[in-house]
Amino acid sequence: MSATIVLDACALLALLEDEPGADKILEVYDRAVSGEVALVMNTLNLLEVYYALYRGHGKEQAGLFFEEIKRSPVFIKNEISEGVFVEAGRLKASYKISLADSIALAEASVSGGALLTADHHEFDIIEQKERIAFHWFR
């Protein structure tokens, strides 16, 4: 069984915009293509990427991205399991984080995987207090 890596919206945006750390994300993506890891993203976190692209690059670019991600090795979770629901609620109530961040964290926590992110300002405190694995790309 392959390890699970949950994509945070910032990771996918950094890859798409070729920001610092994009090379590390591409390495993880290549590992997913080879079957070494399972890449997972909740549809709510994918929505964050879609609307950021729509706002910054327009409807056409956002649409092209959406079609491409559906053909990629990223498994899009279109439902929130009961375990993720409960864990996301607990995390949202415990920390000053967005609902989308609580979903991404809960996906990582429940799956036993790691969250691929660069959002230190939101997650450093959580990394210290919780048993959630993080895979930092910068």
pLDDT tens digits, residue range 54-97?
999 999 999 999 999 999 999 999 999 999 999 999 999 999 99
Whether 134 and 118 have beta carbons less than 8 Å apart is answered as: no
Whether 8 and 115 have beta carbons less than 8 Å apart is answered as: yes
Q: How many domains does the structure of the chain reveal? A: 1
Sheet holding 74-77, edge to edge: 74-77, 37-42, 3-7, 114-117, 133-136
**Alpha-carbon span 92 to 72, nearest angstrom:** 30
In which domain, by residue range, is 56 found? 3-136
Q: How many residues does the chain have?
A: 138
Could you tell me the end-to-end alpha-carbon distance of the chain, in angstroms, rounded to an integer?
Answer: 27
Which pLDDT score, from 0 to 100, does residue 2 have? Answer: 74
pLDDT in tens, 7-19: 999 999 999 999 9
pTM of the model: 0.95
Supply the CATH number for residue 68's domain. Answer: 3.40.50.1010
Which pLDDT score, from 0 to 100, does residue 16 have? Answer: 94
**Alpha-carbon span 46 to 51, nearest angstrom:** 9
Whether 83 and 58 have beta carbons less than 8 Å apart is answered as: no
Evaluate if residue 1 carries a pLDDT over 70: no
Q: Which long-range contacts (CB under 8 A, 24 or more apart) does 130-134 make?
A: 130/91, 130/105, 132/105, 132/108, 133/108, 134/108
Whether 12 and 100 have beta carbons less than 8 Å apart is answered as: no
Which pLDDT score, from 0 to 100, does residue 15 have? Answer: 95
**pLDDT average, residue stretch 43-47:** 98
Evaluate if residue 22 carries a pLDDT over 80: yes
Give percent of the chain above pLDDT 70.
99
